[in-house]
Amino acid sequence: MERIIFDIAHSLAGGLVLVSFMMLYQDRLPALINIFAVQAVLLALSVAWQAYMQDAPHLYITAGIALVFKAMIIPVALHRIIKQLGIHREIEPVVGIGSTMFIGIGLVALSMVVMLRVTGHAAPVAREDLAFALSVILLGMLMMVTRRNAVGQVIGFMSLENGLVLAATGAKGMPLVVEISIAFSVLIAFIVIGIFLFRIRERFDTVDLSALDSHRGGQ
Amino acid sequence: MGVLNFNPVSTLLLIPLLTAPLLALLPGYKISARINVLASLATLLAASSLFFLDRPAPGNYLLVDDLNIVFIVLNTFVAFTTSVFSASYIGHELETGRLPLSYLRFYHAMYQVLLFAMNLAFVANNLGLMWVGVEVATLSTVVMVGIYRTPEALEAAWKYFILGSVGIALALFGTILVYMAAQPVVGEGNNAMLWTVLIAHVAAFDPALLNLAFVFLLLGYGTKMGLAPLHAWLPDAHAEGPTPISAVLSGLLLNVALYALLRYKLLMAANPGALAPGPLMMIMGLVSLVFAAFMLYRRRDIKRLFAYSSIEHMGIITFAFGMGGPLANFAGLLHMVMHSLTKSAIFFSVGHIAQIKGTQKIAEIRGLTQTHPLLGWGLVVGVLAIAGMPPLGIFMSEFLVVSSTIAHAPWLAVPLVVGLLVAFGALLLRLTGLAFGEPSGSTAAVKASYLPLYAHLALVLIGGVYLPPALVSWFQHVAALLG
């Protein structure tokens, strides 16, 4: 019984890493948003499982936030935004898929090696969860670096944040987890609203950051 | 008696927290600017009372000790003077129509939110709460950097936002790792996040986990401090936002991240098995210093110039604290105070100058000492101070940093001195163009607030000539605490 409880926790956390990989090579924004929603659902399940395992009911709140806010509200809002911005049909060339994937594999290997070696004394669930969480964080950063499009970068950041929530809930009995996940949701809402407002109310023709580079002030 | 009990720590947090919604509701400019000043002054008074009143015992959330009092008092003082400067600066922006009245309520409210968040980060005993303070402070400055809504300002805000978010995300991961290290020793729950508990038990923590945590914390809070190579957001954010925000960014927000890093450095130092945090900080500090010193030569924008100078000085401070020891820590503290005072004074004068001339391009601003003697000479003194000219305060602290480097690690003194000299040359080169020569641009008189500018410069001068013995012994005490 003990065994299967751990296995479920691991497969959910491993699923998050897998979905992060799927995001790396998406060249269409709607597909990217859908995959992010899948990751958020997985995160919600994983957090709920942790809540059950640790007998920590307050974590169900965090799971609920992940499910309602990140898997539903944010994806719907983003779909509407990219439609309004007229970028929902565009194909965003992801440069160097092969090399990006290789770097991704390297990052996952790195986080496994580092975390498993370092956390020898910690509880086994927490330890492997932390390794998966670091992988998700690093893959999210990789995605932020490789995307030129602001919406893509935001999704990268949100997936990075999924990794953080995974780490925080995996650390047994950590205080302030719920508060921190709420704080992050506020932050994400800020970003999404920001993208929306700047396009609609101001003279912003594109949220493509390569176009923004030309507006950079004098050196 | 319960109602009459005056608790300086909660007052420090409550004043800005309650003023923010008030300012968001008030429509008039004059009244809200005044309330902003008054609230900042009240917060400063509450902070100063920490020196005289009994400190509350460290609780589950808040803590006041000898280390953070220095930061809190400096923070509230510069926040107060900046609010005075901000009143006249924003008045001018309203007249010229750069800033619509509706944004102004938002601006003042955010100013108080920022003040609250910085104070929260300083007095937090809970490391998670400290992180929340840094995050809220970052968010409130992001929206203020983008407040002009020009494409440049939005890009700066976006860049700051993305890099700042990555920084705080890394810092959170580091915080989680510290909790993981503490949990087997002190047990689950709130205790494993309390700094006072952690510092008492840190010797028994797993050193490998602490090492990993410190790397993430250094990268995370280092991003917020603008250390090279994580500094990319800093020049843009300084150049495109309103100048009062540039002043608080340089003078205060960078110190908040520095403070967080220092807390973790103390934890690391108290664990015998963990790696020494000093060398990492020294390397990052030295790289930032030398890099920023060379970058100073290529700047064409006046606010960007001083933003790079902030990177340089944060580098010096990080280097000094990384070296450790009573003398270097003393020098680091003194340098931090002097830099905050000087840099915000420079931004006070630069803000009005850019308003009169209608440009931030260095090449288009000349002969300031002739057209606007008070502002021009204020800038001259400020730049001389920041470049490290005796007898001003920064010379003193830089001298201490260099001499303790020579005592501890003589070979590191070479890049340190080279960096300082290169920066000195660059700043003086730009200063001669700005302050002297044939005047250019508008010569219109300006309604400037000279008081904050000259008050800061006077303090910097006093700091260089005569440090009161009480202050010296206080700083020596804190420096000893820092190890």
| Higher pLDDT pick, B90 / A195 | B90
Q: Measured on CA atoms in the order B181, B182, B188, B191, is the torsion positive or negative?
A: negative
Please name the residue that has the structure tokens 């400067």. B85
A43 close to A165: Cβ distance less than 8 angstroms: yes
Instruction: Using pLDDT thresholds of 50, 70 and 90, give the confidence band for residue B1.
Output: very low
Q: Does the beta-carbon distance from B132 to A176 stay under 8 Å?
A: yes
Mean pLDDT (chain B) is: 90
Q: Does the beta-carbon distance from B128 to A218 stay under 8 Å?
A: no
Please name the residue that has the structure tokens 């805000």. B157
Residue B107 CA, distance from chain mean position: 19
Q: Does the beta-carbon distance from A180 to B192 stay under 8 Å?
A: no
Residues of chain B in contact with residue A167, where contact means CB-CB under 8 angstroms, are: 173, 176
Give pLDDT tens digits for A13-60.
Answer: 999 999 999 998 888 889 999 999 999 999 999 999 999 988 888 899
Q: Which two tokens stand for residue B26?
A: 């008030």
Q: Does the beta-carbon distance from B169 to A114 stay under 8 Å?
A: no
Q: Give Cβ neighbours of residue A189 (< 8 Å, ≥ 6 apart).
A: none
Instruction: For chain A, give percent helix, strand, coil, nearest 5.
Output: 80, 0, 20
Q: Does the beta-carbon distance from B166 to A126 stay under 8 Å?
A: no
Q: What is the mean pLDDT of residues A182-190?
A: 82
Paired with A208 in beta bridges are: A149
Q: Which two tokens stand for residue B169?
A: 């995300």
Give pLDDT tens digits for A50-109.
Answer: 999 888 888 999 999 999 999 999 999 989 888 887 777 766 666 678 888 899 999 999
A181-195, B287-301, B324-338, B388-402, range with the lowest pLDDT: A181-195
B318 close to B281: Cβ distance less than 8 angstroms: yes
* Per-residue confidence (pLDDT) for residue B213, from 0 to 100: 93
Instruction: Using pLDDT thresholds of 50, 70 and 90, give the confidence band for residue A219.
Output: very low
CA distance B332 to B6: 33
> Does B220 have pLDDT greater than 80?
yes
Residues of chain A in contact with residue B132, where contact means CB-CB under 8 angstroms, are: 176, 179-180, 183
Q: Does the beta-carbon distance from B158 to A150 stay under 8 Å?
A: yes
Q: What ipTM score was computed for the predicted complex, to two decimals? A: 0.88
Please name the residue that has the structure tokens 């991003």. B223
Element holding B387 (H helix, E strand): helix B373-387
Q: What percent of chain B has pLDDT over 70?
A: 99
> Does A195 have pLDDT greater than 80?
no
Return the DSSP state at B2. Answer: T
Q: How many CB pairs under 8 A join A and B?
A: 127
Q: What are phi and psi of B365, to 5 degrees?
A: -115, 120
Residues of chain A in contact with residue B304, where contact means CB-CB under 8 angstroms, are: 217-219
CA distance A50 to A59: 8
Shortest Cα–Cα distance, B140 to chain A (Å): 11
Q: Give Cβ neighbours of residue B336 (< 8 Å, ≥ 6 apart).
A: B74, B255, B258, B317
Give pLDDT tens digits for A102-156.
Answer: 999 999 999 988 888 877 766 666 778 888 999 999 999 988 888 777 788 889 9
* Per-residue confidence (pLDDT) for residue B295, from 0 to 100: 93
> Does A213 have pLDDT greater than 80?
no
Q: Which segments of B388-442 does DSSP mark as H helices, in order?
A: 393-408, 410-435
Give pLDDT tens digits for B33-72.
Answer: 999 999 999 999 999 988 888 777 888 888 888 889 999 9
Of B92, B98, B172, whose CA–CA distance to B129 is shortest? Answer: B172
Q: Does the beta-carbon distance from A157 to B132 stay under 8 Å?
A: no
Instruction: Using pLDDT thresholds of 50, 70 and 90, give the confidence band for residue B274.
Output: confident
Q: Per residue in A117-127, is it b (16+ CB within 10 Å) or e — as a string?
A: ebbeebeebbb
CA distance B172 to B132: 9
Residues of chain B in contact with residue A122, where contact means CB-CB under 8 angstroms, are: 180, 184, 206, 209
Residues of chain A in contact with residue B131, where contact means CB-CB under 8 angstroms, are: 180
Shortest Cα–Cα distance, B87 to chain A (Å): 26
Give pLDDT tens digits for B360-391.
Answer: 999 888 888 888 889 999 999 999 999 999 88
CA distance B199 to B125: 11
Other C-beta atoms lying within 10 Å of the C-beta of residue B171: 28
Q: What is the mean pLDDT of residues B20-29?
A: 88
Of B291, B287, B308, B281, whose CA–CA distance to B362 is shortest? Answer: B308
> Does A204 have pLDDT greater than 70?
no
Q: Amino acid identity of B46?
A: A
Q: Measured on CA atoms in the order B279, B285, B288, B289, is the torsion positive or negative?
A: negative
B44 close to B76: Cβ distance less than 8 angstroms: yes
> Does B150 have pLDDT greater than 90?
no
CA distance A125 to A131: 10
Of B51, B111, B83, B267, whose CA–CA distance to B175 is shortest? Answer: B267
Q: What are phi and psi of B371, to 5 degrees?
A: -80, -40
Residues of chain A in contact with residue B151, where contact means CB-CB under 8 angstroms, are: 203-204, 212, 215
* Per-residue confidence (pLDDT) for residue A206, from 0 to 100: 44
| Higher pLDDT pick, B447 / B264 | B264
